[in-house]
Structure 1
């Protein structure tokens, strides 16, 4: 009886639609990346507490690992860090490199301006 209930629950989960975040900032990283470390020191601690971070939570993807299935339609990069603004599973904007803390916020604001109103 428990096995049947478990199978029914599993079938319901598999049939459920995949839910994607309205917006997220995907950060492509790789081990030993000095600019990733600079971003981590200057921006990463504050990111979740900013309007930008609340609108597009940060998600890290290591380019030396397997490419995530939900990003299958997004071209991979060899350069890190690369920031890809995603909206409902689609790429909206891309920033290659980390230009430093002052320019980063300005460029991210330009990226977020490309989101539809009310997203995030």
Structure 2
């Protein structure tokens, strides 16, 4: 019984240390939005309802922020946000790229895919 518990503890430790790399090195997609934004509503209807269940959502979980709220503590943006929606890809709380606006689902997925590929390239290149 003790051996089984030790083996389980070792396996859990290995899994926990492997988790950050598998999770995209702490990538998050911060969405700046506001209540009356029709493009935010369009994004919610077309993408928001499935985002968490997509590979992109697994790599960069969504974090919604009202554009009028202060930037959350621990977040560093390259510049302020002026438009909604604005999607900011963060690595460990630091902006690495962004999408301003939402002209449609195809545009969003294409832009996000490019952002995630560049983020992964920076991770593997150092």
Of 99, 103, 109, which residue of structure 1 is paired with 2:107? 103
Of 69, 77, 80, which residue of structure 2 is paired with 1:76? 80
Match of 1:28 in 2: 32
Of 47, 54, 59, which residue of structure 1 is paired with 2:51? 47
Contact kept, 8 Å, 1:28 with 1:81, in 2: the verdict is yes
CA deviation after TM superposition for structure 1 residue 103, in Å: 1.5
Of 53, 57, 60, which residue of structure 2 is paired with 1:56? 60
Match of 1:86 in 2: 90
Q: Normalising by structure 1, what TM-score?
A: 0.75
Root mean square deviation of aligned Cα: 1.7
Contact kept, 8 Å, 1:84 with 1:95, in 2: the verdict is yes
Contact kept, 8 Å, 1:92 with 1:114, in 2: the verdict is no
CA deviation after TM superposition for structure 1 residue 38, in Å: 0.3
The number of equivalent residue pairs is 98
Distance 2:108 2:41 in 1: 14
Runs of 4+ in 1 over 4 A off after TM superposition: none
Contact kept, 8 Å, 1:93 with 1:114, in 2: the verdict is no
Consecutive unaligned residues in structure 2, runs of 5 or more: 1-24
